[in-house]
Structure 1
Amino acid sequence: MGALFEALFKFRPLLFREGELAFATPWPMVLLLLTAVVIAGVAVATYGSARGRTSPGDRTVLATLRLAALGVLTFCLMQPTLILSSAVDQRNFVGILIDDSRSMTLPGEDDAPRSAFAAEAFGAESALVEALSERFALRYFRFSHDAGRVPGPEALAFDGTRTDLPSALDRAREELSSVPLSGLVVVSDGADNAGRPLAEAMVPLQAASIPVFTVGVGDEAIDPDIQIGPVELPRTVLEGSALVVDVLVSHRGFEGARVPVVVEDGGLILVQDTVTLEGDDEPAVARVRFSLDEAGPRRIRVRVPNQEGEAVTRNNVREVAVEVESQRQKILYFEGEPRYEVKFIRRAIADDPNVQVVVLQRTADNKFLRLDVDGPEELVDGFPDTREELFAYQGLILGSVEASFFTTDQLRMIADFVSERGGGLLALGGRNALAEGGYAGTAVDEVLPVVLEEPASDPRRAYTEIDVGPTPAGRSHPAAQLRTSDETPDSLWAALPPLSTLNRIERVKPGATPLLTGVHPGGERVVLAHQRYGRGKALAFPVQDSWMWQMHADVPLDDLSHETLWQQLLRWVVEGVPSQVEVASERDAVEPGERVRITAEVLDSTYLAINDASVVASITGPDGSVVQQVMDWTVDEDGVYATEVLPDAAGRWTVDISAAFEGEIVGSGVLHLEAGPGDAEYFDAGRRTAVLERLAEETGGQYYTPATISSLPEDLQYTGAGVTITEEHDLWDMPFLFLLLLGLIGAEWSYRRMRGLV
């Protein structure tokens, strides 16, 4: 299409975009236009005098065609000219950035590696480089996770394990900022997996009027190939917690094949499933369940065995870092009246070493029963009335206790427990719970994932028995499982006896997720729902007798559905609840010798930020050596401290962070980094044409393929950047104008002949 445009209009579209249209006629423009108007008037009058021989329609068509032909002639007489700014030979520079990452070793044109094109097209002996060198001084750059100057493509190894295109553009722009620059040329497959927005690098290029010319290599889709999508796992889990993971397997060229999906922990196979691959680009989903029973850092490996004929096999494996914790998480369960639910919840989690449920049960006015407390002073005055006391727990269960029991400050504090402290809240049903307990319109109502309906005027009529079953989301959610090894079958849910509720909960709030529903003759009720709220999560479980799933006569003695549900539910309530010192990194896998930024958020016992704490990071290398670094407050974020770690050897690096304030220890956190070559370049490794086209378009450059790159030297010459001179090119002799004029005259003659007017 570009060649056809150039044949008709003498120049390519890019030159018309860069240039300006002017008219170089030596005659006065007004005189030329008046002459054209007079001639046009005579032509129209001529057709008007032939009224008897032609119809009005014929006269209109013929006049239009003749006026159009006259317009073309007038345009040519005005001598249209394209004015271009042309780069002065050998006075300007061009930066050539060549992708040096591993993805360039994948198949490209004619099944040769993508790197072969870069080496051939931009090598010292190539015709393209010779044409460029006649006009510009060339400077070569390599880029992958970093960027730097090189003498030419022969110095590239194509072994970079990540691509940071924005940083490469910044580096080239900065190094060439002191010389006249006509543009940058980027040779890449378009992969950019560093996580930084490309727009950040385009803004200074646009401001400096530096065009970027991109050359896309490789196929847009690799075929045949199987790839595992990103695997989502929580960063920290409690020891023994059951995990449910959806593994996406995409492919091209393996339609109908059945492939295994294997989950491993340190070489030990945890679980294996099989999926059937459907059509190309239709991901198959394997839902796998497993538990991690040993505390410490883990690298969970999810893989599909290599299949015969695959073009790329390094994208068949994903690794995810998980920290398995063994500390005991405390949950405060406040119950407003004696009832069986307390006894059976305690019994369900009695053998769980990682969950401690501290019970505060009101037995009479201002009288409380305390169970499983850590000392005689804990909850001695009843429900906490300070943030420090409440925020010491990771979870909170509210039973059948009316909202009027709490002060306004306590209700606000419960909401803050979720949103600011990041704790988990579980609201149970009961005659004094939810709407029946007067929570509608309170701060706690804002947190709950369900809509509190108007309570029934007669509590006895509110009693409803419901048959409980999972929603589609609940089938795979760890908080709604009756088994830990595999998905709870529908037959097991159907065999459970009905539960009862006094709270009419029929709707969830926007953004909330229902996990269990209950069916009764009058309709459907929400049984279990959750939502994120601020830093934490909130759940509603509006039933009053889940213990029936253990004590009902129809439930076998060896059925552990009740115990499993409560263990899974309470573990999920406290999963991911932050501590006073939360440690994070940009990524958990780095290259040896690559710096990584580590941050620590430091909060006091009320979970307010501390900006003047003493924070120290102890960094332990694979060889056991320890280095300490002081972490500085970032200033732009309250309570956030940062430092950079340089893992200079392959292996596992451990970062222990401790924080102190006014001589007292605030808390500590630990982070593990794996240093070693990564495989990010092999995922989604097809050419990303849209990225390269956008980069070129928004900076005023042009996108090329290996087949169209021959026009690059001329296009660079007319970018208007650098040291330039003005060139004028005639447009009146464009073949298009001649063909258009010939077509209009021919059309007039053909119309006359067709209508019998000749």
Structure 2
Amino acid sequence: MMHLAQLQFGAPGWFAISLTVIAGAFALLIYAYRSLTLKQSLSGAALCLKLSAIAILSIALTEPLWSGTRIQPGTNLFAVLVDDSASLQIRDPDTGQTRLQQVQQLLAGEEKDQTSSQPQWLVDLQQNFSVRLYSVDSRAHAKADLQHLTFTGKQSNLISSINELNQRYQKLPLAGILLMTDGISAEEISQLQQSVPVYPVPIGSQTPSTDLAITNTSVSYSPFEDAPIRILADLSATHCQQSQVETQLLNQTGKVVETVTRQIETPDQQLQVRFQVRPDQPGIAFYQVKTRLISNANQELTLANNQRTLKLDRGRTAHRVLYVSGRPNWEFKFLRRAIEDDEYIHLVGLIRIAKKEAKFDFRSREGEEGNALYRGFDQQNESDLERYDQPVFVRINTQSPDELSDGFPKTEAELFQYETIIIDDLEAAFFTHDQLELITRFVSERGGGLVMLGGQESFQQGGYDKTDFKQLLPIYFSQRTDSEIESDYQFDLTRDGWLQPWMRHHKNEQDEHKRLAAMPAFKTVNHVDSIKPGAVLTAELKGSQQSRHPALASQRYGLGRVSAVMIGDLWRWRLKEDSTDPQLNKAWRQLLRWMTTDALEPVNLQIEEVAAGSTGTRIKVHVRDEDFQKRSDYQVELEVTTPNQETLKLNADPVADQPGEYQSVYLPGLPGGYSITARVTTPDSKTSTTKGGWVHVPETVEFRSVNPDLSLLNQLATESKGEVIPAAQLSRFVRSIDQREIPVTEESISPLWHHPWVLLLVLGCLFGEWSLRRWKGLP
């Protein structure tokens, strides 16, 4: 066969005869029309008409055929997705209909007697395609029909649902996806993977209407000075001008904690409402933020975005801090007073009151080996008393009689129960090499804090520059021995110090300058050269000769934090204060809270979504033993309490490639706050627990915008090489699908002579020629 564009000839051998007939007809027609008394123009027109009819009939001898491609019926697939989420319950102001009613009209049968349960456009689509029906909310759900949708889905994951269909039909000829939605999705277009053409059908009106919404909330914690928890709520008010907005914070019992009222002045206004709250009990609490319009003539489009549930975590039991000193001093006296009423810091003191020394016989009674300082306290156990070659300690505020009974801890289990260590006025020779290594591991592996205070036997004067301990400290020791020693040093904050909340005591700079000016001059200072790269210098000392010396520096070391306070007589600050709220006390509390804030816990809960926009929640439990080594041989049980106070028990399984990590996935059903308790059991049946919680609020994303998101739908169509289809043109689109690129097609060939228009063209030409002749009265 010969091919000419889309025209083929089944009998090309007849071309010569066809051309001969046309040529002969042309000659005869010229001869015949020469004898007719017609104008030259009319004669030429009549000749062309008759010649055209003869030419068409002659070409028919070659059997001309129209060739092309068409959809192979029933072979290609086409997916129809209908948004089944709650945002379609919104009533559009233009039509007065809800969006779900608009969808139902598109899905309803078009026959008057309603004998057909399917719309005509769907019937037409099924004639050429194998149609797959789906509803979509958090995921795509296969449906036998689309007549019984509930439109109650808590969120729309449009992009992940499209990705799921593309993956499911990856090896099948999926021609396209028709998506009926308002475009409000929990996901971004960047998450779209390679896709077949998507044809979105926008549902809903773009006309702005009255709506008040909570667009975002944040909870800010501060570990300093019993600072309240700060809650920020961002509000969006559309067409609410000349109205008042009332926003309330409610605790978990439903009691109103605080109410804020604001005035709306413009048609599109953004507001930010601030709350401060101090929960009565430590631990997890769930609060609510609610907002409403006061005296507004227009009704809001929806009230589903007028409230948010928040999780507040006020912390757990007190952080344990170990203070170690080489002698009784005033620093510990004022430090202890500063935090004695602080429920978040539990200070344990280990004070040496006598150094170890060589034993001489004349110092004790005959046959007595114990230190005479302890004579008479325990007559039955004289042999267990401290000896002369052992230091003598006083233990303060310990939890058990055995705690620190042997002095400074020698094992991980003993030391790692604390979260911060304070070393004051204690020479490096006091610690054994193993204890120095243990302190290093305490900071780097356990994630604890270390503070060295500037006593008389601290830093270089205590011989720490000759040990590996200097690697921990954020400073370089002084190499100068002839430096001039000044008598008075004034405390001042550095630029970085002004930026650190734990270094400031007041909300404004003016009050802070007054506090610094009121501080006394310090006289005991450990001089250092400079701070290390990566360390932060937050305070300096100004000498009487205008020299400057580092006063307080800190740095991260492994998982923990190390701070160096070069001042050895901070207690002078308290002696000068007459206030009932001493600034020295506040400084101590803020320093210790900052040092313990990021310390690792033996059992740590981490809660996250399985995927962005997903309704699943992954619960991770990170487990360490007493030595803070990751363990994967423990048993971890979870107890989840739902918003309606029902409990559910789960098991968390260890993750193969993540030592010490256990995971479980939970699918929350009800919106609201979920609390969780993780119980960890060791092989020797010891148990420990930790508590956490999260808030499941899918409506937050579903109603983040009440207007259809046409921008997302346009991007979706562009990225997938599809097209946005208006609802009114849906039937026309279905009829034009055969003009688009389809995965599976078949060749279509039809004889040209079988087309009615060919016969009509021949008859038209002959009739036109006859009409010209009859017009002029010719035969």
- TM-score, shorter chain, exceeding 0.5: yes
CA RMSD of aligned residues (A): 5.3
Specify the alignment match of 1:390 in structure 2.
Answer: 415
Task: Map residues 88-107 of structure 1 onto 2, 5 A cutoff.
Answer: 88-106=72-90
User: What's the counterpart of residue 3 of structure 1?
Assistant: none
User: What one-letter code is carried by the residue in structure 2 that aligns with 1:586?
Assistant: E
* Residues 641/414 of structure 1: CA separation in 2 closer, same or farther (3 Å cut): same
Q: Deviations over 1:696-742 (max 9, x none)?
A: 455444456769878854786566453235799xxxxxxxxxxxxxx
* Structure 2 residue 570 is matched with structure 1 residue 585: no
TM-score, length-scaled by structure 1 = 0.66
SS in 2 for 1:345: helix
Whether the 8 Å contact between 2:137 and 2:158 is mirrored in structure 1 is yes
Q: Deviations over 1:113-163 (max 9, x none)?
A: 544554445555467646644543432222222431235554333222233
Q: 1:460 to 1:240 in 2, by over 3 A?
A: closer
Deviations 1:488-530 (A, max 9, x none): 78436624522656567998976x8888888899699987787
User: Aligned partner of 2:81: which letter?
Assistant: L
- TM-score between the two structures when normalised by the length of structure 2: 0.64
Letter of the 1:566 counterpart: W
User: Which amino acid counterpart does residue 216 of structure 2 have in structure 1?
Assistant: G
- Say whether the 8 Å CA contact 1:517–1:528 is kept in structure 2: yes
Q: Measure, in 1, the Cα distance between the counterparts of 2:683 and 2:642.
A: 30
Pick aligned residue for 2:340 from 350, 353, 361: 350
Q: Is the 8 A contact 2:247 2:289 kept in 1?
A: yes
Q: Is the 8 A contact 1:229 1:248 kept in 2?
A: yes
C-alpha deviation, 1:303, in angstroms: 4.3
- 1:587-666 equivalences in 2 (<5 Å): 596-618=617-639, 628-645=649-666, 655-666=676-687
- Structure 1 SS opposite 2:632: coil
SS of residue in 1 equivalent to 2:165: helix
CA distance in 2, matches of 1:348, 1:302: 36
Residue type at the aligned position of 2:606: A
Partner of residue 285 from structure 2, selected from 275, 292, 298: 298
User: Are residues 427 and 103 of structure 1, via their aligned partners in 2, closer, same or farther at CA, if it must alter by over 3 Å?
Assistant: farther
Name the residue aligned to 2:575: 551
**Which residue identity is paired with 2:277?**
F
> Aligned with 1:352: secondary structure?
coil
Q: Does residue 230 of structure 2 align to residue 245 of structure 1?
A: yes
Does residue 360 (structure 1) correspond to residue 360 (structure 2)? The answer is no
CA distance in 1, matches of 2:405, 2:568: 27
How far apart, in 2, do the equivalents of 1:184 and 1:616 lie? Answer: 44
Aligned to 2:173: 180
- 1:417 pairs with one of 442, 446, 471: 442
Structure 1 residues 320 and 627, CA, compared in 2 at 3 Å: closer, same or farther? Answer: closer
Cα–Cα, structure 1 residues 619 and 240, in superposed 2: closer, same or farther, change >3 Å? farther
Asked if residue 328 in structure 1 is aligned to residue 314 in structure 2, the reply is no
Conserved? CA contact 2:319–2:596, under 8 Å: yes
What per-residue deviation string (whole Å, max 9, x for no partner) do you get for residues 215-243 of structure 1? 55565998754535231356xx9999433
Q: Which of the numbers 572, 585, 597 marks the counterpart of 1:563?
A: 585
Aligned residue type for 2:416:
F
- Counterpart residue number, 2:197: 211
Please point out which of 211, 216, 226 is paired with 1:229: 216
> Which amino acid counterpart does residue 341 of structure 2 have in structure 1?
D
**Counterparts in 2 of 1:384 and 1:149: CA distance versus 1, 3 Å:** same
Residue 157 (structure 1) aligns with: 150
The residue that corresponds to 1:742 in the other structure is: none
1:357 CA drift (Å)? 1.0
**CA separation of 1:603 and 1:221: change in aligned 2, threshold 3 A:** farther
1:356 is displaced (CA, Å) by 0.9
Q: Distance in 2 between matches of 1:320 and 1:445?
A: 45
SS at match of 2:417: coil
SS at the partner of 1:566? Answer: helix
* Structure 2 residue 485 is the aligned partner of structure 1 residue 498: no
Whether the 8 Å contact between 2:231 and 2:276 is mirrored in structure 1 is no
| Per-residue deviation, residues 371-407 of structure 1 (Å, max 9, x unmatched) | 3223444334544443333221123334466778767
Are 2:251 and 1:265 aligned? yes
- SS of 1:242's partner is coil
Q: Which residue of 1 aligns with 2:772?
A: none
Deviation at 1:665, TM superposition (A): 1.4
CA change 1:382–1:523 in 2 (3 A) is same
CA contact (8 A) 2:531 2:553 kept: no
C-alpha distance in 1 between matches for 2:595 and 2:492: 24
Paired residue secondary structure (1:558): coil
Shift of 1:586: 3.2
Deviation, 1:583, is 3.0
Alignment match, 1:13: none
527-536 vs 171-180, which moves further: 527-536
Quick check: 393-402 or 497-506, which moved more? 497-506
- 1:213 and 1:508 map into 2 onto residues whose CA distance is 60
* Contact 2:237–2:270 (8 Å) recurs in 1: no
2:153 is paired with a residue of what secondary structure? coil
List gaps (5 residues or longer) in structure 2. Answer: 9-66, 111-118, 357-390, 750-779
How many angstroms does 1:190 deviate by?
4.4
Alpha-carbon contact 2:139-2:161 (below 8 Å) kept: yes
Letter in 2 for 1:617: L
More displaced stretch, 422-431 vs 92-101: 422-431
CA 1:262/1:513 → structure 2, altered by over 3 Å: closer, same or farther?
farther
Partner of 1:736: none
- Do the aligned residues in 2 keep the contact of 1:429 with 1:503 (CA within 8 Å)? no
SS of 1:664's equivalent?
coil
- CA distance, structure 2, for counterparts of residue 108 and residue 403 of structure 1: 76
TM-aligned CA deviation for residue 346 of structure 1? 0.9
Shift of 1:299: 0.5
Q: 1:88-118 CA deviation, whole Å, 9 max, x = no partner?
A: 3443222122332223334668476544554
Q: Distance in 1 between matches of 2:564 and 2:725?
A: 57
CA distance in 1, matches of 2:565, 2:243: 42
Distance 1:606 1:662 in 2: 15
The answer on whether the counterparts of 1:85 and 1:718 sit within 8 Å (CA) in structure 2 is no
Helix, strand or coil: the match of 2:218?
A: coil
Given that residues 140 and 151 in structure 1 are in contact (C-alpha distance below 8 angstroms), is that contact kept between their aligned partners in structure 2? yes
CA distance in 2 between partners of 1:712 and 1:695 (Å): 18
Q: Higher Cα Rg: structure 1 or 2?
A: 2
Deviations 1:447-501 (A, max 9, x none): 77x77696776373596313459989858x4x45648xxx578436624522656
CA distance in 1, matches of 2:595, 2:621: 24
Q: Distance between the aligned counterparts of 2:423 and 2:439, measured in 1?
A: 10
Query: Is contact 2:338-2:588 (8 Å) kept?
Result: yes
Q: What SS is found at the alignment partner of 1:229?
A: strand
CA contact (8 A) 1:239 1:294 kept: no
Cα displacement string for residues 621-677 of structure 1 (whole angstroms, at most 9, x for unaligned residues): 678776654432222321222334466678876544322232231522234566788
Structure 1 position 567, deviation (Å): 3.5
Measured against aligned partners, the alpha-carbon deviations of 1:560-585 in whole angstroms (never above 9, x if no partner) come to: 44434433443444346443222333
Cα shift readout 1:171-228 (whole Å, capped 9, x = no counterpart): 534665675311223344444448xx8767x44xx3xx63334455565998754535
1:142 to 135, 146, 149: 135
1:541 offset after TM fit, Å? 5.9
